Amino acid sequence: IRAAVFASGSGSNFQAIMEKNDLLCDVSLLVCDKPGASVLEKAERFGVPTFVFDPKKYASKSDYEKEVVRRMQQADISWIFLAGYMRIVGPTLLHAYENKIINIHPSLLPDFPGKDAIGQAYKAGVSNTGVTVHYIDEGIDTGPVIAQKSVEVFSGDTEETLKERIQQVEHRLYPKIINRLMKE
């Protein structure tokens, strides 16, 4: 099974996926919409080919998504794992990879969808937040939930310490759930 990871940030989840010894698929492509993102150095380190594009250079979302789909078909990709790809997936990509696109989000969805989920939860003063792996649909963090893991907010937490704990949970949960899906 060949998969693509879509990431535009630091790539710590990409790294966690790559470091799983018994991963049941080949990550054969990294798709990145931010030229210069640090995830690209990680891809190079792991020898994963990249497709980097600048959305501003395309007339529309469907234009760049067509190009992304073309690259993925060339590489024979059948699954997409979003890991810090900060864009809404459009119909072009959704229809080409129906039920084959998953995402990791740092909250217990449906709570705190969208950007800065950790900051949102911290500011709301909840005593419990967490991590969700879910299928992608046309909404923002609204697709069917595959797995969730809760993370307690301690009274001494800063946003930064909470973020660290949530990311540790992400790095364990995502590769595990990917393997579970690859077995289905």
Q: Could you list the active site residues?
A: 105
Non-local CB neighbours of 73 within 8 Å, separated by 6+ positions: 96
Q: How far is CA 22 from the centre of its chain?
A: 20
Q: Is 52 helix (H, G, I), strand (E, B) or coil?
A: strand
Q: How far is the CB of 4 from ligand GRF (least distance, A)?
A: 15
Q: How far is the CB of 139 from ligand GRF (least distance, A)?
A: 15
CB of 60 or CB of 128, closer to ligand GRF: 128
Q: Are 103 and 174 in contact (CB under 8 A)?
A: no
Using CB under 6 A as the criterion, which residues of the chain lie in contact with ligand GRF when the complex forms? Answer: 7, 9-14, 83-84, 104-106, 170
Q: How far is the CB of 74 from ligand GRF (least distance, A)?
A: 25
Which contiguous run of DSSP H or E holds residue 119? helix 117-124
Q: Are 26 and 49 in contact (CB under 8 A)?
A: no
CB of 66 or CB of 87, closer to ligand GRF: 87
Q: Are 138 and 91 in contact (CB under 8 A)?
A: yes
Residue nearest to ligand GRF (CB): 84
**107 is annotated as contributing to ligand binding:** no
- Binding residues for (6R)-10-formyltetrahydrofolate are 61, 86-89, 103
Which residues does the annotation place in the binding site? Answer: 11-13, 61, 86-89, 103
